[in-house]
Structure 1
């Protein structure tokens, strides 16, 4: 029962008290006995339902919860790096206490990721990336629930509509790719950096990375992790066996078994790769900066963005991967062949991404019956009678 007490000023206050399952006493002061009694009953009810949370843990923030999630033992370094990327992009929800987090907060955050991140100069991420990041935060919050830090996870499921499907309009044309390569080699792309107009110098290294991307469909992490020993000039294949770390010069295992693959390459690309591999140690990274250090994922992406931004083309290394896939599909490569070359886990994943690029049933029907009518002689004679009506003579 609440206890009555007087303040030094003589005002009557009511103190509600209860003990948790560990015997620790908790108290809170109210203006009325009714409020104190209701609070005691609420806490007792929460303990009976298993929903009670120690008030001392209510101040843990989203950022701290994600840090706990990322520090679990047994995680791969690539997973820790991915979680670090999410942590760096929490934006307005980073310092929100979990006890105050609402689903609307993460919905608004996901929308901000897609439409433009103020903390990253308005840069956007894809809907799929935003959805994955919300899932990561949700998993971190669920861990906090399991540990008794909060009562429930308000993030039931991301309300971000994500579609993997790629349309033709999202894939750069051959002319656009050529323009990007030409500008990278020549330099001259202008960009703003901290309020100062700068000009990008020639980047033949990034130009050759673009050429390799369109000739192999490799991910940016795989391109940056490519070693001299991974290029088999005799068999004319490139082996994908590891990926570059998100930061630094380290290498990490590939994310899935399907990502480990051999890609058949054309002779013109082998000429490009030979420029970088000739005379180099087998363990050396193929694409290197002037000082010999490997070109990193962040640096390569930034250099390409400067050029594509200057040209007004929304093209990334991932766009070039889609370009490569479209070339395979347009050349009649089967779903299984595209899946293997792209390193997808399943044919269903390949179809979900590129379903709109394969000829549809209507196109196949037209191709199958093309010329059938004329070959049968049905339209041997056609004209217009005196009444203005069309007629067809079967002959």
Structure 2
């Protein structure tokens, strides 16, 4: 509906229009030209479907988040991270319409001194999603996070730490301590991460029935996560349910683990790794891992580095991208390439290796390997 402009008895100009709910709204101006310009701007947003109620933006950032967050399909850990991100902003009490890009820039700069670049990016994405939701709900007209620059992240190949075979051997040797009974059985857990590529929660969620000892394979169908003072079993990260093919040595290690640490003929839903009457998870794992790497003299090695060790081994053995993707449970081959592309041989490497084979064949003595002329 088109608006109207009328001169008031006090000499000011009143511009009127009806919003998308049919409610009449108005604003007064000293000059008619200003009233016309404002009315043109408002009516154009109404026609374009981008109209924002001027009163909607009065809600504060924190208030909008408090109403929006419960509607999101988040895991508890995601909600915890979101709450931490929102709690760190310095504009939580400001009306949404008053928040500018400068506020976001200031927050990013202050947090860059406290958080790693990866953590900052994760929490920035959460804050950005709040503003995008506000735009979608027509609380604000524009997202103030657009154009905000984040600190540079280290290249994946520079930041990734891959343990050596010798280091993984030391970790396995120190995983079961004769002096600390509560660490007995942890060696098989470390082996699952290093030689099957399981994530921390995935390894914690393994049950006896998930292991097919005859076919030498493991079905990854759940992960354990902390839920307050207890745990909850959920689908693996990003829905990465999969079957992992196990080496004979790992199958044998798991068989011996079941025989030694679980009751005779355990049920299929028995947890493979236990603490007292429940599964081993979260802090139970962290404590044992810290003790293991300290005992091995490798305090810098992270649990997730064992997953990188597994991936690098598959790539070194000549496995293609799809094979590695399926073994690791990545959502797509793109994720695998983005993470591990630097480990695959380059075209230059393959060219050099092919030329080396040709050269060895050409210089082989008669009666030896094939000659160049036989190609």
Question: Normalization by structure 2: what TM-score?
Answer: 0.71
Indicate whether 1:349 and 2:345 are aligned: no
| CA distance in structure 1 between the aligned counterparts of 2:147 and 2:290, rounded to whole angstroms | 32
Cα offset, 1:27, TM superposition: 9.9
CA spacing shift, 1:130–1:42, aligned 2, 3 Å: farther
Indicate whether 1:222 and 2:207 are aligned: no
Cα offset, 1:321, TM superposition: 0.9
| CA distance in structure 2 between the aligned counterparts of 1:206 and 1:104, rounded to whole angstroms | 50
Contact 1:135/1:157, CA 8 A, preserved across alignment: no
| CA distance in structure 1 between the aligned counterparts of 2:142 and 2:208, rounded to whole angstroms | 51
Indicate whether 1:209 and 2:208 are aligned: no
2:274 to 281, 288, 304: 288
Indicate whether 1:269 and 2:250 are aligned: yes
2:83 to 77, 84, 87: 87
1:143 to 130, 133, 136: 133
My pick for the range that moved more, 103-112 or 337-346, is 103-112
- 1:158-173 paired onto structure 2 within 5 Å: 159-160=149-150, 161=152, 165-166=156-157, 170-173=161-164
| CA distance in structure 2 between the aligned counterparts of 1:358 and 1:241, rounded to whole angstroms | 29
Structure-1 residue corresponding to 2:123: 133
| CA distance in structure 2 between the aligned counterparts of 1:38 and 1:299, rounded to whole angstroms | 70
Please state whether the residue corresponding to 2:71 is helix, strand or coil.
coil
Structure-1 residue corresponding to 2:70: 71
Contact 1:131/1:162, CA 8 A, preserved across alignment: no
Please state whether the residue corresponding to 1:263 is helix, strand or coil.
strand
Cα offset, 1:256, TM superposition: 4.1
Indicate whether 1:244 and 2:224 are aligned: yes
| CA distance in structure 1 between the aligned counterparts of 2:147 and 2:184, rounded to whole angstroms | 44
Contact 1:230/1:240, CA 8 A, preserved across alignment: yes
Cα offset, 1:178, TM superposition: 3.8
Matched pairs, number = 339
Please state whether the residue corresponding to 2:244 is helix, strand or coil.
strand
Structure-2 residue corresponding to 1:382: none
User: Which sections of structure 1, spanning at least 5 residues, go unmatched?
Assistant: 5-15, 118-123, 189-199, 379-395
Question: Normalization by structure 1: what TM-score?
Answer: 0.68
Structure-2 residue corresponding to 1:191: none
Indicate whether 1:260 and 2:241 are aligned: yes
Structure-1 residue corresponding to 2:99: 101
Computed over aligned residues only, the root mean square deviation of the Cα atoms, in angstroms, reads 4.3
Structure-2 residue corresponding to 1:389: none
CA spacing shift, 1:251–1:109, aligned 2, 3 Å: farther
